[in-house]
Structure 1
Amino acid sequence: MRRTLLIGLFASVLVSPVLALELKSPATPMLVVELYTSEGCSSCPPADAWLASFKQDPRLFESLLPLAFHVDYWDMLGWSDPFAKPAYSKRQRDWVSERRVSQPYTPGFVVNSQEWRGWFGQQLGLPATEGSPGILHVSWPDKTQPLALRFDTEKAAYERLAVNVAVLGMGLETEVQAGENRGRTLRHDFVVLSHQRHVISRKGNGYAAQIAAPDIPAVGQRRSVLAVWLSPLTSQRIIQAAAGYMAP
């Protein structure tokens, strides 16, 4: 009887959806580095490797958030990037429409919501963020419950804000069978695997809302990251962000 009880308790631990994730942004704007990349682009692996180096950066998720958006417009060369989505190509085109990026290309970087070409000239010092937009808090008790979001700010300039919720994959590998990278094993980190957008309204001098739990794709990543960022409804400009590793 005692053995049966212990087995039952052990099994309940195995299937428990415990997550207990608490995220908090810095008081200054999070430094967000977006990379637009593709497994079909022979120039992209060095940029992917550079982004992956941020795993060792002490600022990671404290004041720095790397994001790798895989675009699909290189799939025509014979290799369909398994992480590419039309929505990520559209995000890059929308940066162009906002006149924050000159044109869609890979590898392409957007830092602090603005095109950044420092990587190409080996000028790798990232621009500093400025201002005090407020502090973003995100709580996720477990995977069966919604995210609780609170944005404490003295600058509640917008009646409504867009909340972007993304799951990032770490430690991904692909053996490319065709295209410009044929025969290569490519390794990726900070890959945006899913992305949902929600709208929240101002409440007093801040914002608070319950947000639907995100999808967590299982595509062979070694770890997953939850990333949340805020933007105006009329722009992709990132106001504030918070991120952190999920429980294994």
Structure 2
Amino acid sequence: MIEIKTKQEIEQMKPAGKFVGSILKDLRAMAKPGVNLLELDDYVKRQIESRRGAESCYVDYAPDFGTGPFRHYICLSVNDAVLHGVPFDYSLRDGDLLSMDLAISVDGWVGDSAISLVVGEHADPEDLRLIKATQDALEAGISQARAGNRLGDISAAVGDVAHENGYSVNVEFGGHGVGHVMHGDPIVPNDGSAHHGFKLRPGLVIAIEPWFMAGTDEIFQDPKDGWTLRSVDGSRGAHSEHTIAITEGDPIILTARDE
């Protein structure tokens, strides 16, 4: 069921979004060569434990698209991994493409956001182009998140940026409604037809999350952990996401990072 929030409820969602945004900003600064993925996961754990009313949306999460409960506090996807990356004993290397996806509940309301970056000093220009495409697609999607538009306007805007940059789009996983739960209705595909779908109304809160891979739109689930989604051809992936609220005017980015 699609939930429409009141103005007061959107105000109540802001602390969760701000908290998620601040942690991702910290993690961006921390993600240096030699830093272990488990260190980043532990940092998120400690931040959640130190914040009154905060709870992880990931620990013990067990949807049908994963294998068993998720046991970590953040999704960390490296290089050919693009979504649902399980943190493991791996030290980041110069040139790695790292995607970080974080969802936290504060006082019962969820904030969900993701960023991608290249670790260290030696970035492959193609990795930077891929990351920028997801960022541009996110901005394009947000620009269409206005009352009176249709859900398909957001999806089409995201997909157009992907296709303009030569990337194909997987629509198996995409954006979604956000509220008291991390994954709610409506589903927000990363490609679609403009002027179609649910009519956007003030009070709708959704996560828009473009994710693209450099050489394919096909993924497989890593059998080693039962969660991490990787490109079938080994090409790299990137992911950008914000939780936004639709209003009578401009959309509100609840997970803004003040960067």
- Report the TM-score, using the length of structure 2 for normalisation: 0.36
More helix by proportion, 1 or 2? 2
Q: Which structure: larger Rg? A: 1
